[in-house]
Amino acid sequence: MLRLDSALMAEQAPDGALNTTLHVCPACGSGLVQPTSWEQEANRSRWRVWRRCPECEWTGASVHNELEVDVFDEHLDFGSHELANELRALEHANMREMVDAFIIALGNDLISADDFSR
């Protein structure tokens, strides 16, 4: 299981002024902010990141150091894993419902070999 450890990463920052909330919308507070684009700045140690909130449609761009971008990336990975786990759970529940309906139909003689012929 992926463990999000942005607090540990923040302690490693040399200046102590690390922004670990790039995933949080400054307008509505949603934790679902996503990057839409990024580019490395001229000094090569900072990144300009364009972000968007899917809940309130806020958009913005800001410049961040590599550690801040790494923390943001870790939040995005964590969210991707959560979505994948939820999808698997929904697929399992849907398949369980289909199997249960099929078993009931078989038990009530509602399905025959003719149903499987072309």
pLDDT tens-digit series, residues 5-44: 444 333 334 455 678 899 999 999 999 999 999 999 988 8
Euclidean distance between CA atoms 20 and 10, whole angstroms: 7
DSSP codes of every residue in 25-68 = -TTT--S--EEEEEEE-TTSSEEEEEEE-TTT--EEEEEEEHHH
pTM above 0.85?
A: no
pLDDT in tens, 2-12: 444 444 333 33
Q: Are 48 and 63 in contact (CB under 8 A)?
A: yes
Rounded to whole angstroms, how far apart are CA atoms 80 and 60?
22
Q: What residue spans define the domains of the chain?
A: 6-86
How far apart CA 39 and CA 19 sit, in angstroms, is: 18
Helix or strand or coil: residue 12?
coil
How many Å from the N-terminal Cα to the C-terminal Cα in the chain?
Answer: 45
**What phi and psi values does residue 86 have, to the nearest 5 degrees?**
-65, -40
